[in-house]
Amino acid sequence: MKITLAQLNPIVGDVSGNLRKVVDTLEQYAGDTDLIIFSELFLVGYPPRDLLEKPALIERTQAAVQELLAVSRNYPRTGVLLGAPMPTGLDTGKGLNNCALLICGGEILFRQNKSLLPAYDVFDETRHFAPATQVEVFPFQGETLGISICEDAWYDPELWSRCLYAFDPIQVLAQKGATLLINISSSPFQVGKEEVRFRIFHNHARKFGLPVIYVNQVGGNDELIFDGRSKFLDARGEAVAVLPGFKEEVVTVDAAAAGKPGLYAPVEEIATVHSALVLGLRDYLRKCGFTRAVVGLSGGVDSAVTCCLAGQALGPENVLGVLMPSPYSSRGSLRDSRKLAKNLGVPIKEIPITPIYHAYLRSLKKHLAVDQIGVALENVQARIRGNILMTLSNQYGYLVLSTGNKSEMAVGYCTLYGDMSGGLSVLADVPKTMVYQLASFLNRERTLIPQEIITKPPSAELRPDQKDQDTLPPYEILDQIMNYYLTEGYAYKDIVRLGFDPEVVRWIIKTIDRNEYKRRQAAPGLKITSKAFGMGRRIPIAARHEF
């Protein structure tokens, strides 16, 4: 049996466009394959979120299924397996299932609903879907297919400190006589997750002695990035085919083929972060209807990395760098920003903010002490810059890219309506220490980011001789404590036991909690870690707690 893995990039809600991808793939590959497999909820894209509450979307999806059935009559020897939301047909409950549909010769031959509905981190499937009431296998083209959907394959005691589900759908499929396990998925990227995925499917293959096919969505949808890395493993868990990450790819395999030891190899983590951010940035602009971006260049490493990623995602000619020197900007920062832009081939504009800043001081001198540079006047400078970038965005149709990193976002070392302004926050889930790793990675083949930008002490340059470390703990310390608190869920006492200064730990935790109101007003940020600010972390603002 020949099987085609279609690792493609759907647009959420674009049922007609997504159907076109299915039909084009079917028409191209039908003569050479028995089954073409697409990813989870492919017809609507993942995650559709509350679009699922719109009857028109479900009606359009059902119509698309009928259109696909009509097309499939022309290819009676080739099946299509894809994901779609489908009505349960019941008068009670959620009313929808997350389905895998097997279509061939103008018929829906088989429908398997998703059993395990995740409701943690960024997932909220119990909000919209009812779980499967049964798990069955289906004979097709000489194989007995055991079809599952994403989370159905993640029942693995090694993964969870507490088991989330009552049964293992993959074990049920194996016990019912499956000869081939197929999992269609929309599994978002996070650092290190690809190796976990491979281990899961490798373990399934070895445990049940069955070959496994895994087809994952690829592309960026809002904050989430899907890396693909679809694969076919033989019954020993050895890779027969591993599709590349972060790009569309269609590959046909023989279900009887044997794998090769060593064919699967994990990709270096910082390389995956780079690829994820480039894809996420490109798709966010493309799917939102933008073609160009604008970045404020401060001479610091965050704006340099953001500008570099934007140039790679969109083409340097589609990225505008804006230098906005203030009375406290160093000559080095201006020089370094110009050098960066030259290295990248990015056009720049220089718009000094000193005259505007002085106009603010004249207007405010009756109301506050303008001869003392405090937080208020520092923030005025950041907000002037934010206004300039937004004005350029309005005039020329650029999307403003916010450049703040996760460490700054965590402790509120950023200005509302200033440097937080923008349509997308590229580094919002990238800790400062990882930003430096990215800068080094970007410079591997040739110097894109001037070394002076990487080695200089970080500074907001909003007052004389300002350095980040005047206000913040060293980033090496801040990032570790932030990770323990946010990602690992450690309490204050647990982090202190690891040897960190109790006062530093207390300050970081309180500051993270106190700045939730800022993050709620931030631009969407691309998710690359297991616990990002935004949709996967739902913390109340008006709260008082001591953990």
- Contacts of residue 410, Cβ cutoff 8 Å, sequence gap at least 6: 478, 482, 486, 508, 511, 512, 515, 533
Pair of tokens at residue 246: 């972060």
Among 121, 113, 124, 119, which residue's Cα sits nearest to residue 53? 124
Distance CA 226, CA 334 (A): 37
CB atoms within 10 A of CB 197: 19
- Taking a C-beta distance cutoff of 8 angstroms, is the pair 319, 292 a contact? yes
The CA-based dihedral angle spanning residues 512, 513, 517, 518, taken in that order and rounded to the nearest 10 degrees: 0
Q: How far apart are CA 336 and CA 497, in angstroms?
A: 42
In the structure encoding, which two tokens stand for residue 52, read together?
Answer: 């699922």
What single letter denotes the amino acid at residue 159? L
Question: Cis omega before residue 131 (within 30°)?
Answer: no
Contact 314, 449 (CB under 8 A): no
Q: Which residues are catalytic?
A: 40, 114, 150
Beta strands in 141-209 (DSSP E): 143-149, 180-185
CA distance 352 to 42: 48
- Is residue 377 within 8 A of residue 369, CB to CB? The reply is no
